[in-house]
Chain A
Amino acid sequence: MTASSTDWSAPGLDSETRESSPLPDPDPAIDRPPMEVDIVCAGFGPAMGGFLTTLTQAWNDNPADPAFESRVMPGMPLQVLCYERADTLSAGVSGVVTQAKGIRSSFPDLNPAEIPMAVPVTDERVFYLLDPIGASRRSLPLRIGDFFLRLAGSLVLKDRAFELPWTPAFLHKKNGLVLSIGQFNQWVAECLMAGGLVQIWPGTPVAAPILENDAVAGLRLADQGVNKSGEPDHNFIPGMDVRARLTVVGDGAIGQVGAALNQNQNGAKCWAMGMKFVIELPEAAADSELRPGTVWHTIGYPEPEIFGFLYVHPDRLVSVGIFVPSWMGDPARTAYRYLQHFIQHPALWKHLKDGTLRSWGAKSLEESGRRAEPPLSGNGYARIGEGSGSTNMLTGSGVDEAWTTGIQLGEAVLELLRAGKPFTHQNLSAAYETRRRASWIERGAREAENARNGFHRGFIRGLIGMALTGLTRGKLSLPAHIPPAHRQIRPFSFFAASGIKLREAAELVLEDGRPLHDALMSARGWPEIPFDGRLLVTQQDALLMGGKVQAPPAFADHVIFRSKGLCLLCDEKTCIAMCSGQAITLGSDGAPVFEREKCIHCGGCLWNCAQSPDGVNGNIDFRAGAGGLHSAEN
């Protein structure tokens, strides 16, 4: 590929959208030292793990294979570099229970005991949780259903939970694994580095793809030594241009490289905030029913729309969490407090109450799957993992799917290298997309495509739609019109909070300065959290637990409010309610304020803005940034 002047417009992105963004065009006068490699990769999650493992294993099998000869450094093996935004490779956040089909195909002799916190799945259950408090917003049909369950009493209920007599086949993770994503990624990275072919660099956010002549020519790394607004400051080091014949995009649901290539598809996506605790159970719990490998899925509580999970790792560690979806229209939606109410449900609390909080984390999931699938490849680039629409929302799994898309691209790249073919759109499409379309990933994605449609029309219709899709393997589903994320948030005035509740909440806000959404939950009847400093701690204290949040100095702010005027006029301020790190707070002038030091990079603000300056995207411009959670256990 020849070097020419860089065009910063994304192919297909309409000009109006770009103009509404305050992102300054990179100063062409800045001298950016280029670096030439063969393959450059953005993001290190399971998808990239699968890709790099496939390349490394092939190289280790036959280092003399001429396909692995570097073009940029003749005589050396292929130069493959991967840049990860987070400070460590163990900083990911996820469940995880996975079938691990793809993972096992990469490691046929996998011994879960080698991966800390990993264990085979032993027991799977699904529970419908009743509301033991009476605060959750339940529709009339749901309340009628709850009434009959209560009437049947202990015949069907235990600890205010109804266990489904069977786990639907589509949810099954038989022969699967319970993992910690942090530990799994760290283990994969260790294997890769020991393999000797690839280099993985954490703490290095990629600012954007380099777009040239209708092709991606590499990645531009984020500037260092800049002030909050990104202007050069003390010790300025311009982000380097890492040029390569192939750029692999595996930066997940909220990655900015993927977003820059997304041809403006962001609008009609479904999202969820996954937030979790890692809890250490007391010694006495060792022989409780929570044995390692236990997997629980829950529905119904703390709000009907909020799904929950509990997975048991070895050594009395439990991952427990919830998903707050974008289709939960409540503008006062929040995850942290709901998670605290969730773990206090009698069915869970009886096991967890004497436990200790070890770690906490949150991350956005892209729930549209195949429906929002962007182009999988183009000239000079290919996309893998959740950002490529691989997450399956019927089976509730993304890790193995992401990993497998990585394997597929790895095999495709090997094929093209061996055939001496360039990484053009046509060649990548033939080698990678064809593999993917013919695989179980595509079949699953098609089945799952419309699984969650019904939820946009209510919880019960959502469950019916999901069951219909699951049981007919995607042949039948409910139709839905899915609006852009900002329009999935209903206006405050319209939503269930009556004027009285809002007034009550406002009084609480004035009294003790808490955020409005928190006060609103109290006004709606949710009891205050009985903080114990051990398991139930304030959100601010959670930032200091397990793997504390940190932002390295000298990087720019990565959360930008496009129009302050729009924020001042906005009643909902959902960005504040849903900010996982309380990094967005209300400023004294009534506009939200962002503090980089508290941001955990969950990406919640990307889809939790209630307004849009352009009718498609929210009012928040979410960019690549450094820092975040340091927990290795999530």
Chain B
Amino acid sequence: MANALHIVACAGIVPDPLQTLEPTLAPTGPAIRNEMVLPAMLDPWAACALYEAASLIAKNPGEPQNPSKLWLVSLTPKAKLQQVMMTVAQKLSFELVPIDGPIGGFTDAHSTAAILAETIAALPGLDRGKLLLFGGWESANRGAGVTLQLIGERLGITDQFQGVDQIELRDDGPFEVLERVEGGRHQVSVCAGPPAVLGWATGNLPEPRNNPQIGMDNMRTIMPVLQKAKTAALDTNSLRYVSATLPAQQRTTRVVKDMHPEAIAQEIVEWIGKDS
């Protein structure tokens, strides 16, 4: 396929789930305790979207005078994003578009989508006819899971796919998308071509390995744009959160030796069953 792609991946950040995450009530509403202290990472679904985008661009680089391009747009606190970039920017090439925002995911999805849509619409060189808007289908960051859809609507993109696990470009412009549906099955759709919104589930790609050369090249552009990141004026008054709870979580550890895998599986099934 000769047509170049312009992929815009939207990704927020979340506290590293390996940390102890504790809900608390801050003056601004529900929050995670000491969130600024915890290391952060890209929202996992959005990270899958970004890896898929990079792979799609690698397979479909366009032409030298008309190359494919990947932007990563992120509305997050700048200091935290900078930290996350130290891990992500070694993995794949992209142009970062940071918007300095508040910590925590309890933001109004409409307000977030408005800022992101406005930023994307203003991206220099972006060709709407080549645009694939990528992001997470869900968010691990307490979002309502509707942000991507709302950005698409604001940009007037009507072809929207959610829970995407695969995209296959066809030679003549259209592409085939696999969306998750109930029962672990996929719905197959064929879309005439960009612009389209794709909210990714896990996709099929592993996390790309670190490549120091990519890291060094990326950082040359990332640091200056981070320093100049505009600040987002998010609407904080339109929503009031009444309460927040963590998903029920329990752990029982037992050390066993020489137990048959089937017996272990049986025990785990019974243990899970107790919870339901």
Contact with B along A15-47 (1 / 0, CB 8 A): 000000000000000000101010000000000
A35 touches B253 (CB 8 A): no
Q: Does B266 count as interface, using CB distance less than 8 angstroms?
A: no
Contact with B along A237-272 (1 / 0, CB 8 A): 100101000000000000000000000000000000
Min CB distance B38 to A, Å, is 6
Min CB distance A176 to B, Å, is 21
Min CB distance A343 to B, Å, is 19
A89 touches B83 (CB 8 A): yes
Known contacts A79-B216, A89-B83: A237-B211 contact under CB 8 Å: yes
Which of B210, B215, B251, B253 is in CB contact (< 8 Å) with A224? B210
**Which residue of B is nearest A117, CB measured?**
B37
Which of A189, A199, A633 is in CB contact (< 8 Å) with B215? A199
Most buried by B among A117, A201, A630: A201
Chain A residues, CB < 8 A from B209: 224-225, 235, 237, 554
Chain B residues, CB < 8 A from A630: 16, 18-19, 39
Q: Does A550 count as interface, using CB distance less than 8 angstroms?
A: yes
A186 touches B83 (CB 8 A): yes
B212 touches A204 (CB 8 A): yes
Q: Give the size of the chain A interface in residues (CB under 8 angstroms).
A: 50
A632 touches B215 (CB 8 A): no
Q: Does B34 count as interface, using CB distance less than 8 angstroms?
A: yes
Q: What is the CA–CA distance of A540 and B256 in the complex, to the nearest angstrom? A: 13
A538 touches B34 (CB 8 A): no
Which of A79, A194, A242, A632 is in CB contact (< 8 Å) with B82? A194
**Which residue of B is nearest A199, CB measured?**
B219
Q: What is the CA–CA distance of A505 and B86 in the complex, to the nearest angstrom? A: 48
Q: Which of B27-48 contact A (CB under 8 A)?
A: 34, 36-39
B16 touches A633 (CB 8 A): no
Q: Does B20 count as interface, using CB distance less than 8 angstroms?
A: yes
Known contacts A89-B83, A190-B79, A190-B82: A240-B212 contact under CB 8 Å: yes
Min CB distance B10 to A, Å, is 23
A88 touches B37 (CB 8 A): no
Min CB distance B185 to A, Å, is 28
Q: What is the CA–CA distance of A76 and B224 in the complex, to the nearest angstrom? A: 13
B251 touches A544 (CB 8 A): yes
Q: Does B227 count as interface, using CB distance less than 8 angstroms?
A: yes
Chain A residues, CB < 8 A from B251: 541, 544
Q: Does A547 count as interface, using CB distance less than 8 angstroms?
A: yes
Which of A37, A200, A237, A548 is in CB contact (< 8 Å) with B18? A548
Chain A residues, CB < 8 A from B87: 87-88, 202-203
B18 touches A547 (CB 8 A): yes
B38 touches A632 (CB 8 A): yes
Q: Does A546 count as interface, using CB distance less than 8 angstroms?
A: yes
A89 touches B86 (CB 8 A): yes
Chain A residues, CB < 8 A from B219: 199
Q: Does A193 count as interface, using CB distance less than 8 angstroms?
A: yes
Q: Does A441 count as interface, using CB distance less than 8 angstroms?
A: no
B: residues with CB less than 8 A from A are: 16, 18-20, 34, 36-39, 79, 82-83, 86-87, 90, 206, 209-213, 215-216, 219-220, 223-224, 227, 251, 253, 255, 257
A201 touches B212 (CB 8 A): yes
Chain B residues, CB < 8 A from A37: 216
Chain A residues, CB < 8 A from B86: 89, 189, 193, 199-202
Min CB distance A383 to B, Å, is 22
Q: Please name 17 pairs of A and B residues whose Cβ atoms are closer than 8 Å in the assembled complex, sorted by A.
A: A87-B87, A90-B39, A189-B86, A190-B79, A194-B79, A194-B82, A196-B227, A199-B216, A201-B86, A204-B90, A204-B210, A235-B206, A237-B209, A240-B211, A513-B257, A630-B19, A632-B19
Q: What is the CA–CA distance of A607 and B84 in the complex, to the nearest angstrom? A: 35
A632 touches B39 (CB 8 A): yes
B213 touches A240 (CB 8 A): yes
Given pairs A81-B212, A203-B210, A630-B16, 15 additional interface contacts (CB within 8 A): A76-B220, A90-B39, A190-B79, A193-B86, A199-B216, A201-B90, A202-B86, A224-B210, A358-B20, A541-B251, A550-B18, A630-B18, A630-B39, A632-B19, A632-B39
A: residues with CB less than 8 A from B are: 33, 35, 37, 76, 79, 81, 83, 87-90, 116-117, 183, 186, 189-190, 193-194, 196, 199-204, 221, 224-225, 235, 237, 240, 242, 358-359, 513, 538, 540-541, 544-548, 550, 554, 630-633
B20 touches A546 (CB 8 A): yes
Known contacts A88-B16, A541-B253, A630-B18: A190-B216 contact under CB 8 Å: no
**Which residue of A is nearest B218, CB measured?**
A199
Q: What is the CA–CA distance of A630 and B38 in the complex, to the nearest angstrom? A: 10
Min CB distance A46 to B, Å, is 18
A545 touches B20 (CB 8 A): yes
Q: What is the CA–CA distance of A547 and B251 in the complex, to the nearest angstrom? A: 16
**Which residue of B is nearest A81, CB measured?**
B216
Min CB distance B224 to A, Å, is 8
Q: What is the CA–CA distance of A240 and B38 in the complex, to the nearest angstrom? A: 30
**Which residue of B is nearest A115, CB measured?**
B37
Chain A residues, CB < 8 A from B39: 88-90, 186, 630, 632
**Which residue of B is nearest A538, CB measured?**
B253
Chain A residues, CB < 8 A from B253: 538, 540-541
**Which residue of B is nearest A631, CB measured?**
B19
Chain B residues, CB < 8 A from A632: 16, 19, 37-39
Q: What is the CA–CA distance of A42 and B244 in the complex, to the nearest angstrom? A: 43
**Which residue of A is nearest B224, CB measured?**
A196
B223 touches A242 (CB 8 A): no
**Which residue of A is nearest B210, CB measured?**
A204
B20 touches A116 (CB 8 A): no
Chain B residues, CB < 8 A from A202: 86-87
Q: What is the CA–CA distance of A623 and B220 in the complex, to the nearest angstrom? A: 31
Chain A residues, CB < 8 A from B210: 201, 203-204, 224, 237
**Which residue of A is nearest B16, CB measured?**
A630
Min CB distance B200 to A, Å, is 21
Chain B residues, CB < 8 A from A548: 18
Q: What is the CA–CA distance of A533 and B215 in the complex, to the nearest angstrom? A: 42
**Which residue of B is nearest A240, CB measured?**
B212
Min CB distance A410 to B, Å, is 20
Q: What is the CA–CA distance of A166 and B210 in the complex, to the nearest angstrom? A: 52
Min CB distance B217 to A, Å, is 10
Q: What is the CA–CA distance of A53 and B257 in the complex, to the nearest angstrom? A: 51
Q: What is the CA–CA distance of A630 and B34 in the complex, to the nearest angstrom? A: 16
Q: What is the CA–CA distance of A204 and B215 in the complex, to the nearest angstrom? A: 11
Known contacts A237-B211, A633-B37: A35-B83 contact under CB 8 Å: no
A194 touches B227 (CB 8 A): yes
B216 touches A193 (CB 8 A): no
Chain A residues, CB < 8 A from B37: 116-117, 183, 632-633
Q: What is the CA–CA distance of A117 and B39 in the complex, to the nearest angstrom? A: 14
B18 touches A35 (CB 8 A): no
Chain B residues, CB < 8 A from A194: 79, 82, 227
Min CB distance A587 to B, Å, is 12
Min CB distance A292 to B, Å, is 15
A-B complex: 6 closest residue pairs judged by Cβ atoms:
A630-B18, A88-B39, A548-B18, A116-B37, A224-B209, A237-B209
Most buried by B among A33, A235, A540, A631: A631
Q: What is the CA–CA distance of A547 and B229 in the complex, to the nearest angstrom? A: 31
Known contacts A35-B216, A225-B209, A630-B19: A116-B83 contact under CB 8 Å: no
Q: What is the CA–CA distance of A90 and B212 in the complex, to the nearest angstrom? A: 21
Q: What is the CA–CA distance of A630 and B86 in the complex, to the nearest angstrom? A: 16
**Which residue of B is nearest A234, CB measured?**
B206
Chain B residues, CB < 8 A from A88: 16, 39, 87
Q: What is the CA–CA distance of A83 and B87 in the complex, to the nearest angstrom? A: 11
Q: What is the CA–CA distance of A189 and B219 in the complex, to the nearest angstrom? A: 15
Q: What is the CA–CA distance of A329 and B137 in the complex, to the nearest angstrom? A: 57
Q: What is the CA–CA distance of A83 and B215 in the complex, to the nearest angstrom? A: 11
Q: What is the CA–CA distance of A281 and B31 in the complex, to the nearest angstrom? A: 21
Chain A residues, CB < 8 A from B224: 196
Q: What is the CA–CA distance of A199 and B37 in the complex, to the nearest angstrom? A: 21
**Which residue of A is nearest B33, CB measured?**
A315
Chain B residues, CB < 8 A from A538: 253
